């Protein structure tokens, strides 16, 4: 069964099409850009412009693994949802020359001075989109950086062990995302297990047939021997 998050689907589409041309220099910013770890904080994404002049109609944010208890805040004229591994605001439209803050609450975990990225897809009218997903490389800011927050303290999350089903779902999503981005089929753990199960089943059937054939041959041989003795 294929389970692909909405963010991965959007990201795969964006990777396959040129969507960055003509975007203004201002970036999607995180406000504030620093936060303590291990406690709930109020943050927001600041959208400073549209996509090459087109008005913004939705914001889709990938929730990082370092984030917990994430909830999208209400914005007038927009529908906010927190589902699965994404935060989504849909509505507007927000004109290109206007700025809007999209608030949310979150508890972050990690080490002090660590940057936690929130990869963001900005969708606009006319099917225009911008993917703010690039990571910082040292002191060099990329052209389309993902909004991020720097941790001012350290806190380790108490994560309960993932069930095999949850882990398989995550593996499937990663594999499907890679396959969509590269255009190449990607095998998942489930595929390997299924293949292994098929092989084991085939081997078992073969072994049973060999045993049955052996018994049949033994029976026939016994009958022949007894017939010769009678002669």
Q: To which CATH superfamily is domain 6-182 assigned? A: Uncharacterised protein YcnI-like PF07987, DUF1775 (2.60.40.2230)
**DSSP per-residue codes, 51-119:** BTTBPEEEEEEEPPTTEEEEEEPP-TTEEEEEETTEEEEEEEEE-TT--EEEEEEEEE-B-TT-EEE--
Residue boundaries of the structural domains of the chain: 6-182
Write the burial class of residue 89 (CB in 10 Å: 0-12 exposed, 13-18 middle, 19+ buried). Answer: buried
Write the burial class of residue 181 (CB in 10 Å: 0-12 exposed, 13-18 middle, 19+ buried). Answer: middle
| DSSP bridge pairs for 52 | none
- In the chain, the largest separation of any two C-alpha atoms, in whole Å, equals 109
Question: Which pLDDT tens digits describe the chain residue by residue (231 residues)?
Answer: 444 455 544 444 444 433 433 334 578 999 999 999 999 999 999 999 999 899 999 999 999 999 999 999 999 999 999 988 999 999 999 999 899 999 999 999 999 999 999 999 999 999 999 999 999 887 788 899 999 999 999 999 875 445 455 555 545 544 444 444 434 443 333 444 444 444 445 444 544 555 455 555 454 444 444 444 445
Give, as one character, the DSSP assignment of residue 153. S
């Amino acid at each position: 069964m294929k389970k692909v998050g909405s963010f991965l689907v959007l990201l795969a589409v964006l990777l396959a099409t040129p969507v960055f041309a003509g975007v203004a220099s201002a970036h999607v910013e995180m406000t504030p850009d620093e936060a303590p770890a291990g406690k709930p904080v109020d943050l927001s994404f600041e959208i400073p412009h549209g996509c090459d002049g087109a008005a913004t109609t939705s914001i889709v944010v990938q929730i990082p693994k370092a984030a917990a208890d994430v909830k999208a805040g209400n914005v007038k004229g927009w529908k906010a949802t927190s589902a699965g591994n994404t935060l989504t605001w849909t509505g507007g439209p927000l004109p290109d020359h206007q700025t809007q803050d999209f608030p949310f609450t979150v508890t972050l975990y990690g080490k002090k001075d660590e940057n936690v990225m929130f990869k963001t897809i900005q969708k606009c009218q006319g099917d225009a989109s911008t993917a703010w997903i690039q990571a910082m490389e040292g002191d060099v800011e990329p052209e389309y950086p993902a909004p991020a927050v720097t941790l001012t303290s350290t806190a380790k999350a108490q994560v309960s062990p993932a069930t095999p089903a949850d882990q398989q779902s995550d593996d499937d999503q990663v594999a499907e995302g890679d396959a969509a981005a590269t255009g190449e089929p990607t095998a998942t753990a489930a595929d390997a297990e299924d293949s292994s199960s098929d092989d084991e089943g085939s081997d078992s059937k073969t072994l049973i047939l060999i045993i049955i054939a052996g018994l049949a041959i033994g029976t026939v041989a016994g009958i022949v021997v007894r017939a010769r003795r009678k002669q």
